[in-house]
Copies of this chain bind each other. A is one copy, B any other.
């Protein structure tokens, strides 16, 4: 067993919101480190938790999406993913809702694979990563948010392996569960 790392918690000295808008909430914090040094300008981005899902049909096909991403200025292959809404009862419900909205697929057997952070230093939320096996089409159309424009792809394991090995998938919160899934299921 690996020992827990020594707790080196910083003391929060002050905190004020710089922005509190739906898509950008930033806190400007000051901290004192354990040895007395002060970090006067530390910015924390606050978000609700996020979810994503490795969804496979009964035939073993992977349900991926592609969409334009303004941060990278590129149209990228990704997992189905989204935000935990206030009305969702749990992250599992959020992931199932996102899969249905973005692809029309549902059903199957679900489990949480891991929960991870996009940036542990500056973001306060977790991303809950699910695996859904045996999903099938249960709606005949997408139900997208106001600024979503999403293409759906059904890919074989060979095709997803090719995307992974050629660095065609860029999103770290999607790559961590995909590489874990490939490692644990000896798909490489």
Contact = CB atoms under 8 A, between A and B. Distances in A.
Interface of A: 1-2, 5-10, 18-19, 21-24, 26, 29, 31, 33-35, 37, 39, 41-45, 66-78, 114-124, 126-127, 146-147, 149, 151, 153, 155, 159, 162-164, 167-168, 170-173, 175-176, 179-180, 182-184, 188
Tell me the number of copies of this protein.
Answer: 2
A155 to B, nearest CB: 7
Which secondary structure dominates chain A's binding surface?
Answer: mixed
Contacts of A126: 72, 170
Given A39-B147, A117-B171, A159 B33 contact: no
A35 B142 CA distance: 15
Nearest to A27: B70
Contacts of A164: 180
Contacts of A151: 5-6, 8
Contact of A170 (B7, B117, B155): B117
A5 B183 contact: no
A162 B10 CA distance: 27
Given A41-B21, A147-B37, A176-B176, A66 B5 contact: yes
